[in-house]
Amino acid sequence: MRITSKSDCALKMLVDLAEHYESGYISLTDISKRMNISKKYLEQIVPMLSKSGLIRANRGNKGGYVLSIPPERCTLGDILRATEGSFSSLCESDDDLQFVWQDMEKAIEKAISGITLQYIIDRRNECYNYYI
């Protein structure tokens, strides 16, 4: 399985929104600057995240984007499904080893469903706060 830059940027955007969850709506310009991602590229990702219900938009002077669900409930699986689609049928095989691919899909699903935006923020903070 290969994760595209689209999913990587979506994850970075959502981590940024999670870090500013209590701040209300955040402009795409602010996200773009903080994450060092092209605003135009983020504009291509926003519809997928909105359609999947992960973010909400607000137009106008104080507009921007906000997470639709709390960071502790938004999972990497939610983000990857929004940007990449379904992970089922990673390998189509009609032989007696199909169970191997099905077991792999279950393991991937379990792993990505256990990683939340809050977990990512907490782990990143642990790494930055570690001093020798």
Q: Can you give the pLDDT at residue 125?
A: 84
What value does the mean pLDDT take over residues 88-107?
78
CATH level 3 topology of 5-128: Arc Repressor Mutant, subunit A (1.10.10)
Mean predicted confidence (pLDDT) in 85-106: 77
% residues pLDDT > 90 (the chain): 68
Distances (CA, A) of 100 to 12, 75, 76, 86, 114: 32, 25, 23, 18, 21
Section 62-77 average pLDDT: 95
| pLDDT at site 92 | 66
Global pTM reads 0.86
Q: Between residues 90 and 29, which one has the greater pLDDT?
A: 29
Sketch the domain layout of the chain as residue ranges.
5-128
Of 4, 124, 6, nearest to 71 by C-alpha is 124
